[in-house]
Structure 1
């Protein structure tokens, strides 16, 4: 179902076969909270975590399965972080909504990728 939502979103938003991976995953993360944003840092991080067995250049069954496995391997820590992080309203005040688990994984991947040594 997630792949179908990705594809339908891409069809409605992207015109003329333009780049779509980062934009669509950021939209899906912000609207639904069920997939990390596949930006440069996240993808670099998860390529490294997978020991370059996966490219993380597309949202597909393989990349989603790896993220699922990553979550399951780190479930306790991710769940604990999620319970302590709350979405803020437009004034910056915390709401009663916890960050989605995909956002926790997204933040981890972004920070990991940001801290990676730059490769030529």
Structure 2
């Protein structure tokens, strides 16, 4: 991907702007209980996986050894639709440490996060209501993303402190 310029992402932007995905933009966790929304998430995931795999194939010009990183896909979805957390190193460490969800990006993990948010709704919502950008409240999945990312960061920081002594 580093060998490509920003134009490589234009088809992705066009797909994300498709009206059918509007329902995923800032979706409340409970919205994922609806099978049609789960299907839309799977559809956009499939599009992103197939598209970026093709790009990777063209760049490498050989069989790919590694699977596509879900970090890229989830960061795109968090940054554009706010519908899933960014499954990066710190977020994954955080959810695993707290035993909230699997560290793998899939529908099962998303539904585990949905259940977690619903169980803690009364604690999350008053905080979320105070957090906004340009008059728009943070999506619920952004709250999950920030919270577990912070847990993962602190785990990593503490590990470094212990290693240094």
TM-score normalised per structure 1: 0.80
Shift of 1:78: 1.8
Alignment of 1:55-70 (within 5 A): 55-57=102-104, 59-70=105-116
Contact 2:49 2:68 in 1 (8 A): no
Higher strand share: 1
> Where does residue 118 of structure 1 map in the other structure?
159
Contact 2:91 2:148 in 1 (8 A): yes
> Where does residue 83 of structure 1 map in the other structure?
129
Q: Gaps spanning 5+ residues in structure 1: where? A: 88-94
Shift of 1:82: 1.6
The size of the alignment, in residue pairs, is: 110
Higher alpha-carbon Rg: 2
- Structure 2 residue 42 is matched with structure 1 residue 3: yes
Q: Gaps spanning 5+ residues in structure 2: where? A: 1-38, 58-63
